[in-house]
Every structure is written in C-alpha cells, then in structure tokens.
C-alpha cells in the first residue's frame, strides 16, 4: 500500500518543499513559458527500417554501410521516441557546499538543486518522466523516473533535503548511474567536476557509450571563476583536504589559467562526445541560463526538421 509522503512530514518540512516547488514553477513559468511546450521531446530516435533512396530524399540519412555491401542506396528511417525518461543527476559531494557568503550567492549545491527542480517540473508538466540520482563517490539515492505530480513532489523533497558531504568519485558514481538507468534516456548532470579529472571525463564518455543523451551543467562558484581574494587567506579544505593559508595575489594568475585550461579540456571532450555543456557560475540568474539553453536546444531541433 502506498501513501502520499506528505502525510508523514512536519509542517516546517512541507513549507520547505513548497518553497522549492514555488521556485521551480517560477523559473519555468517566468522564463521558459514562451518556448515550445516540449523542449526535450524527441531527445533520441529509434531506427525503424530501410527504404530505397529516391531523388529528393535527404542524403544525410543514406546508409553508407549498406551501400558498401549492396551497391544500392537506402535511406534509414527512424521513429521518434515520444516518452522521455530524464534523470536529474546531482553531485552532493563536499565541494558542492561552497558559497560566496559576502555576495550572498547560493552554494553550488543549492544552485544545482534549484536547476534540477525546475527541469523536473518542466519535464513532468510535458507528461514525460523525471527521475533523480544523488551521488558523491557512489550513488546515495535513486528515485525512478515517473511522470506524475506525486512523484514530482518526492523528487522536490529529496532535492530540498540533500546535504553536501563525502568525497567525489566520478568514475564509480557515473558508472553506477549508467548501469542503473536501463532505458536510454536524457541524463542531466549538475556538478562542479572537482576531483579526479580523468575519472570525471571517463564517466561522461561512459554515459554516452551506454546510449544516453547527456546534458552537463558545470556549476562553479563565482569565487572559483574569478578568484577575487586580495589578502592573506585561509582556504578551507573540503572533502578531507587540509586547510591552507596562502597569499592569493601570488596564486591568482596560475589558478585562473588552470581553471581556463580545465574548461577548455572539458569543452573538447563534450564536443567530441556530443554532450551538451552549460558552463555556470553561481552569480548568473538561473532562469536566464535555463531559458537560453532551452531556446538554443529548440532552435537546433528546428534546424534538423
């Protein structure tokens, strides 16, 4: 027997969930309402059949492997999937706790949970299925993909309750994600990717190898992008690393170049593996970021029609 999870929640917890639900609705309806009702629909296609080429057919769909074997031209026909399974995959490792308190900016985790909530809201509204995975060095929580309002509230509840802790382990965690999501779908990953770079990039490639479409929101704190520190500073170690006292002025140039170099490497991997990459710093307005990406996505789909 199943019951509505809200019946077991204290009023203050319900209030927090309602706040996240309200924020998700505000982002979707305030920024994304002008877009096509299903910006994610048709994320992938299933092969249906071959038919012989006739003049006027789009040559992009010629099957050159069949041509090599038969010396005849055939067109590949596809049947677009209409039921989307989209998984919000959120990094809850210790480094996601960082926030810029002086500028009153949200932590990376808060920003990520808002984004995941907004997209889960949008996907559910278009009657597709949204699932949730929370991970650090391994998967800590999984909610299966479903397409109903009660399930959406469960997703929002878990996002609201998420707390950053533990070390990052992209290799293991993303392999577990790839194995857990049986049906090919859309993986929406929110992470700062701080940790073993090779593991992170290999994990992204593995998700694509399993046939999933991958959308990566690379979330960095504004301080991490700009490194504005001027005075002798104690930098707090996260994920088990020790604190360090350092002169940030002496480190700034080398630090910023390392950040730029990592972002360049990440972009190359994403382009090579057809992964959508959205680079974010937490100073950006989330609704604007999502609306810009979804508009770009819809424009690309229009060009392919």
Of the candidates 24, 53, 80, which is a domain's last residue?
Answer: 80
Phi, psi of 43 (to 5 degrees): -65, -25
Could you tell me how many residues make up the chain?
305
Kindly state whether residues 168 and 200 are assigned to the same domain: yes
Residue of 164, 155, 178 lying closest to 135 (CA atoms): 164
Kindly state whether residues 198 and 104 are assigned to the same domain: yes
pLDDT recorded at residue 295: 83
Kindly state whether residues 59 and 160 are assigned to the same domain: no
What is the number of helices (H) and of strands (E) in the chain?
9, 10
The b-or-e profile of 258-275 (16+ CB within 10 A means b, else e) is eeeeebeebeebbeeeeb
pLDDT recorded at residue 74: 81
Provide the 10 A C-beta neighbour count for residue 89: 27
Kindly state whether residues 130 and 229 are assigned to the same domain: yes
Q: How many domains does the chain have?
A: 2
- Which residue has 């924020």 as its token pair? 23
Kindly state whether residues 33 and 169 are assigned to the same domain: yes
pLDDT recorded at residue 172: 84
Averaged over successive runs of 10 residues, the pLDDT of the chain (305 residues) comes to 34 50 71 60 55 70 84 70 81 89 85 93 88 93 93 94 86 85 89 89 90 94 87 66 72 90 95 95 90 83 60
Residue 159 sits in a domain whose CATH number is 3.40.50.410
Taking the alpha carbons at both ends of the chain, their separation in whole angstroms is 45
pLDDT recorded at residue 217: 97
Of the candidates 26, 58, 80, which is a domain's last residue?
Answer: 80
Are 87 and 177 a contacting pair, CB within 8 Å?
Answer: yes
Kindly state whether residues 76 and 205 are assigned to the same domain: no
Kindly state whether residues 59 and 176 are assigned to the same domain: no
Structural domain boundaries, residue 53: 45-80
127: left (phi over 0), alpha (psi -120 to 50) or beta: left
């Amino acid at each position: 027997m199943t019951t509505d999870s809200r019946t077991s929640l204290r009023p203050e917890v319900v209030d927090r969930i309602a706040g996240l639900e309200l924020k998700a609705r505000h982002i979707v309806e305030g920024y994304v309402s002008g877009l096509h009702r299903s910006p994610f629909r048709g994320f992938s296609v299933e092969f249906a059949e071959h038919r012989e080429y006739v003049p006027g057919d789009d040559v992009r769909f010629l099957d050159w492997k069949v041509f090599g074997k038969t010396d005849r031209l055939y067109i590949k026909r596809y049947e677009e999937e209409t039921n989307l399974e989209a998984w919000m995959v959120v990094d809850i490792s210790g480094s996601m706790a960082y926030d810029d308190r002086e500028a009153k900016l949200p932590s990376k985790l808060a920003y990520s949970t808002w984004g995941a909530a907004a997209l889960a809201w949008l996907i559910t509204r278009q009657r597709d299925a949204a699932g949730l995975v929370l991970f650090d060095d391994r998967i800590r929580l999984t909610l299966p993909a479903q397409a109903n309002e009660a399930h959406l509230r469960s997703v929002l509840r878990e996002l609201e309750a998420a707390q950053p802790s533990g070390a990052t382990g992209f290799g293991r965690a993303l392999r577990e994600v790839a194995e857990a999501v049986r049906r090919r779908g859309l993986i929406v990953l929110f992470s700062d990717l701080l940790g073993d770079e090779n593991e992170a990039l290999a994990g992204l490639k593995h998700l694509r190898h399993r046939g999933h479409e991958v959308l990566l929101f690379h979330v960095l704190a504004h301080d991490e992008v700009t490194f504005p520190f001027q005075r002798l500073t104690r930098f707090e170690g996260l994920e088990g690393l020790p604190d360090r006292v350092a002169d940030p002025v002496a480190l700034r140039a080398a630090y910023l170049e390392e950040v730029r170099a990592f972002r360049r490497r990440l972009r190359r991997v994403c382009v090579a593996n057809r992964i959508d990459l959205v680079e974010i710093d937490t100073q950006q307005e989330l609704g604007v970021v999502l609306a810009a990406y979804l508009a770009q996505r819809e424009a690309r789909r229009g060009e392919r029609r």
